[in-house]
Amino acid sequence: MLKNASKKYRPFPPIELKDRRWPNETLTHAPRWCSVDLRDGNQALAVPMNVSQKLELFQTLVKIGFKEIEVGFPSASNTEFAFNRLLIEKGHAPDDVWLQVLVQSREDLIERTVESLIGAKKVIIHMYNSTSPAQRRVVFGKSKDEIKAIAVNGARMIKDRLHRLKGTEVMLQYSPESFSMTEVEYAKEISEAVMDVWQPTPQRKMILNLPDTVEVAMPNVYADQIEWMCRNLKNRDSLIISLHTHNDRCTGVAATELGLLAGADRVEGTLFGNGERTGNLDIVTVALNLYMHGIDSKLDFSNLGSVIDVYEHCTGMSVPPRQPYAGELVFTAFSGSHQDAIKKGLAEWEGKGREHWDVPYLTIDPADIGREYREVIRVNSQSGKGGVAYLLESEFGIVLPKDMQREFGPIANDAVDKLGREVSGSELKAMFWKEYVERNSPWQLSGFETESKNGVVKCCAKLSRDGKTIEFFGEGNGPLAALVHGFTTAGVPRFEISNYSEHALSSGEEAAAISYIQIKTADGRLRWGAGVDTNIEIASVRAVLSALNRS
């Protein structure tokens, strides 16, 4: 990093808004919600959802209570187009749910998009084009007027095709993408140019979505931008001002809440914040933030656990254990003083000692979202991988990778089940050491040396296998790559390292390090190994041998 960051970076300029009003406002009702899980969230997945997965998540969103759902980018692929047609032709979309679709300002894409919507009950056609100085300069190489012409032409092309959606209630939406990095005067100009084409009225409003596409400033600046637009746009009463924040500065929730104070009417986001880079707005968090202030969020998260299950199954993503409201450890206290305060607070509440919820450390009643408070994690035959992993980490500093938790959890549970009783953290550590760290057969390490020259690492490994000494040489771009290569020269079936992590176990000059390595064999099997040594390189070698011995 630069010692003088100002040589490379500059602060985002503030908005001229001397009499800003939003700091004195209070949220009193929920906004209109629009889930973009099936589009914005889906495009951020390493493996996008297939049609059946999208349908399962769509039905969950409907059950939660979303009335506006961005279902996809139908001109982008046959899968996206087919999903639209499935929703419409098979009647999966309730009559009161708006199907929102995204499209760029291009005629071929608009044509395909309109085709995908024929026969729908309610649709929102969401057109966008990027407007920031960097996008205008770097991506398009066009002037402000030329960028505005793109938006106006796209608006006209959509309007000219609306007659093909006879019998469909259509709402139009425009986004000056990268709004938060765009000059507010120009954002106003291009938005009003689109309004001139679509001619919204108070009875037939259009949505003007003002996205914080990439967070480049503190959330108060975004609030200023929203308030400036709300106060300066013409025909404000013909508009639904919508927010769409991302989380690059980890303030997506704050930016949304301040944007609502600034006058916005609507919020776009995803369940648990799935999205590009650091993610989209987490709608669950904002909705439950309103709920904890006594505001009806209009969304039903009374069984949040089932929502998490569908989300993880359909997207392949996981909800972090400390995710607000949803994480598995959110309502679990490990501090004795916390446990005592919560226990007394719950006793007061259950005894009807207070009218409103006011329990130490618990912002809402876990029961309201289908959760329960657990005073302490205790491991028995019914325990999950999370409890096992937590005790290893909290008591011994053993931080298992997520995938390794999934492998070791059932192993530990089987062992505990045979014991037929609760086990301690020390017993769990002994199980882990026996299963991984002490796996010294058939391969056992005698010595390992490396040398590096011109970016190539060469190794000499001295091992024993079933009592016989084996020595081989290998080379690669690092010690482990050299070791893997050396094994192939020794006639060992090919394998590769698919996952690696390490950390210190204790402090001091002679601190031990633990390495976790997952290998993938030629037949596709995955196996974890673990190694411990004061030398991290040797610990990693021991982890590879552990994995081989377990495979």
Q: What confidence score (pLDDT) does residue 522 get?
A: 86
Give the pairing type, strands 443-453 and 68-72. Answer: unpaired
Burial of 90 (0-12, 13-18, 19+ CB in 10 A): exposed
For 443-550, CATH number? 3.30.160.270
Could you give phi then psi for residue 209, rounded to 5 degrees?
-95, 125
Domain range annotation of the chain: 29-301, 336-437, 443-550
Cβ neighbour number for residue 112 with a 10 Å cutoff: 17
Residues of the chain with pLDDT under 50: 336, 375-377
Nearest C-alpha neighbor of 263 from the set 234, 224, 220, 294: 224
pLDDT tens digit sequence for 257-307: 999 999 999 999 999 999 999 999 999 999 999 999 999 999 999 999 999
Rounded CA-CA distance 110/127 in Å is: 9
CATH 3.40.50.300 fits 29-301, yes or no: no
DSSP type of residue 391: H
Rounded CA-CA distance 450/437 in Å is: 23
Q: What confidence score (pLDDT) does residue 377 get?
A: 46
481, β-bridge pairs? none
Q: What confidence score (pLDDT) does residue 381 get?
A: 56
Could you give phi then psi for residue 443, rounded to 5 degrees?
-90, 135
Amino acid at position 185, single letter? E
Rounded CA-CA distance 499/46 in Å is: 17
Say whether 443-550 and 29-301 share the same fold.
Answer: no
Q: What confidence score (pLDDT) does residue 376 get?
A: 42
SS3 256: helix
Nearest C-alpha neighbor of 320 from the set 287, 285, 368: 285
Rounded CA-CA distance 330/373 in Å is: 9
Mind giving me the DSSP string for 202-237?
A: SSS-EEEEEEE-S--S-HHHHHHHHHHHHHHSTTGG
Q: What confidence score (pLDDT) does residue 489 get?
A: 86
Bin 543: left if φ > 0, else alpha if -120 < ψ < 50, else beta: alpha
Q: What confidence score (pLDDT) does residue 397 get?
A: 87
Q: Is-above-0.85 flag for pTM?
A: no
Rounded CA-CA distance 234/219 in Å is: 25
Q: Which residue has the tokens 């994995």?
A: 547
Q: What confidence score (pLDDT) does residue 379 get?
A: 60
**Residues of the chain above pLDDT 70, percent:** 95
